[in-house]
Amino acid sequence: MSARDLGLPSTGGASPRQIQRLANQGLFAVPTGIQRLYEYGLYSLGRFAAGANMNGQATTRLFSYSQGQAFPGTAGPVASVSETNMQVGSIAPGNETYEVTAISFEIHGDANVAPLHLDVRAVMRLGVLFWEFGSTTVMAIAPVPMVGAGGGIFGATADTGTPTTFVNNGNGGLWMYQNVVVAIPATQSFALQCQWGTAGQAAAINLTNATQFRATLFNQARVAIPVA
């Protein structure tokens, strides 16, 4: 490499070649504007106690709490890593933008207890999901049956005198954003609403066992890489 290649004066009499570079950028400056793109799920859980009447229940707001806080449906135990990975309730983590490409909605029982068939049916029949952005914007997503479980126990039966059935709401299917990706900017105020209907009746629709439900947002996160 010659002095001319570096844009320096030479003894050959030719004019030095100009190198286009950003202001205050030296010849060997570290490149800027680099982003890291990776995938992981952001998740949040809610719960209904045994015997709860699901008919017209108040809206459950998922992603509205962080680890160490009480989660919807309980005033006692606080959320651990199995309930949510939110750092701050209702606020998207800073310095990252989330591009949500799919949603899952698991239904399961307390601890390691399998959810009952009719309890799963009640959650699927009555639940509808909505995006909530800020304090004014609410956007419909889909009824719970249209949002797959994304894994877990699909279906099993056992005949030990009295037949029993263990099910959840999907065989690993995901409700996908096929054409439009929902982007959640850093520090955006958001939640996932679970609104509960009446199934067109006035009678109570009671759960037999305590039932939990956990939504996961599958996404690509973009993070600007700091350069010292």
Q: Provide, rounded to the nearest whole percent, the portion of the chain with pLDDT above 70.
A: 72
- Confidence class for position 115, pLDDT limits 50, 70, 90: confident
For residues 35-52, average pLDDT: 89
pLDDT of residue 59: 96
Q: Which residues of 147-158 are buried (b: 16+ CB within 10 A; e: fewer)?
A: bbbbeeeeeeee
pLDDT of residue 2: 54
Give CA–CA dist 171/168, Å, rounded. 8
DSSP track, 86-107: -SSTTBPPTTEEEEEEEEEEEE
For residues 199-204, average pLDDT: 95
Please choose, from the candidates 182, 183, 107, 97, the residue with its C-alpha nearest in 3D space to the C-alpha of residue 145.
107
